[in-house]
Each structure stands twice: as structure tokens, then as C-alpha cells.
A and B are shown apart, each in its own frame.
Chain A
Amino acid sequence: KNQVEQSPQSLIILEGKNCTLQCNYTVSPFSNLRWYKQDTGRGPVSLTIMTFSENTKSNGRYTATLDADTKQSSLHITASQLSDSASYICVVSVSNRDDKIIFGKGTRLHILP
């Protein structure tokens, strides 16, 4: 069964600290993996996208990694800011005629001043 599992469910860190969010998936055949940021009351916004051949992608203070062999991805946030408080959603696309997109339930990140 195609699934995307994220951990932790929620995370609280102090402003300025780094953190890493995890995503494990059992999706086949794999097309790509995206990380989205969803601010409270808003729609998700794409942060990064990685295909099978890519193992790291950066977007400012956000760095995503992908290990296609172990089917794991991580999102590392450096020098966190209050504006990083949001939900982070891992999304994996299936590469077949159905073009399915599997969403994780997200990690809720709280940055404290």
C-alpha cells in the first residue's frame, strides 16, 4: 500500500536552533518527492521537489535530502525563525497511469522566541 509517514507529529524548538523533520514512504513506482510548508489558515506552498536521481535540494534555510534506496527523506531547517512556525507536509508522487499523489499528515513545527 502506498503510504507516507512523517515524524515527529509535532516539534517545538527555540528561535535560532536547527531542526530536522523526517519522511518515510512506501510508494512505488516513485516519481518525485516534495516538501510543502503550510502556514495556519493558508494553503500549502512548495519548498522543494526531488526526483529519483537527486539526493539533496536547498531552498534558502531549507535543505531536503532523499535516500531512494531506504525510501527516506528529511527536511533540515537551519537557524529557525518565528516565521518557520507552520506544518510541513511530505508529498510523494506515483509514476504510473493513475498519477497518484500521496500526502503525509505533516509535522507541526512551533518556533518559540
Chain B
Amino acid sequence: NAGVTQTPKFRVLKTGQSMTLLCAQDMNHEYMYWYRQDPGMGLRLIHYSVGEGTTAKGEVPDGYNVSRLKKQNFLLGLESAAPSQTSVYFCASSLRYGTQYFGPGTRLLVL
């Protein structure tokens, strides 16, 4: 099993550009999450999904959109990137109340 994978690993954007981060998991987990991690801030939940076709807002959802069209995939979109969105983005998946399995992260730099 590959576990949780994320693409791309690293990306540089200019302010105003858009992009989509892809998360895939092969563990048949219902729950999937997108976090951002900034120095000294810990992990903060952006959006999450409790099943295919469902999404919900987390702690810091502004400026991001998500979609869960397939159970194994969870997409995070930035419609108009801002320098404040420079961060490391982690995807995770889990069973309900289960251990979260994290991907390797995507490093995003917005200039």
C-alpha cells in the first residue's frame, strides 16, 4: 500500500494564480483532511470530508475550496493565491475516531 500520497511535492506560484493539490489514499478511509502547517503555529485544519461527496470547513477555510468526488481522492484548490498561503500543506486520512495517516506534504511558495 502506498498509504497517503500528495502531488505536487513543491510548487511556486505568483500572487493571483490558481492551483490544485491532489491527495490520494488507498486505505479505504472515509475521513480525509487538509491541513496547513506554519512555523510556530502547529497544524491547522483547512477543510475535511467524512465521505465521498461531502466536505466541511475547518479552522482556516478562507481562500481554499475542496472536492471529494471519489472516496480515495481529496482535492484542495486555491483560486487566487496570496502570499499568506505560503505554507506546507498536509493531507491525512483516517477511519472515524481512528489514527490519522499523513501524506509527505506539499511545500507551496506564493510570491
Instruction: Answer yes or no: do A and B interact.
Output: yes
Taking Cβ atoms with an 8 Å cutoff, the residues of A that contact B are 31-32, 34, 41-46, 49, 89, 91, 93, 95, 99, 101, 103-106
Q: Does B102 have its Cβ within 8 Å of any Cβ on chain A? A: yes
* Closest chain A residue, CB of each to CB of B33: A101
Complex Cα gap A41–B4 (Å):
15
Q: Does B96 have its Cβ within 8 Å of any Cβ on chain A? A: yes
Which of A34, A44, A104, A106 has the most chain B CB within a 10 Å cutoff? A44
Contact of A105 among B4, B41, B99 (CB under 8 A): B41
Please classify the interface of chain A as helix (H, G, I), strand (E, B), loop, or mixed, using the class held by over half of its residues: strand
Interface residues of B in 69-99 (CB under 8 A from A): 90, 92, 96-97, 99
Also in contact, A44 and B42, with CB within 8 A (given A31-B97, A32-B97, A99-B50): no
Contact residues in A for B44 (Cβ distance below 8 Å)? 103
Contact residues in A for B105 (Cβ distance below 8 Å)? 41-43
Which of A43, A89, A99 has the most chain B CB within a 10 Å cutoff? A43
Q: Does B55 have its Cβ within 8 Å of any Cβ on chain A? A: no
Contact residues in A for B99 (Cβ distance below 8 Å)? 34, 46, 49
Contact residues in A for B100 (Cβ distance below 8 Å)? 44, 46, 91, 101
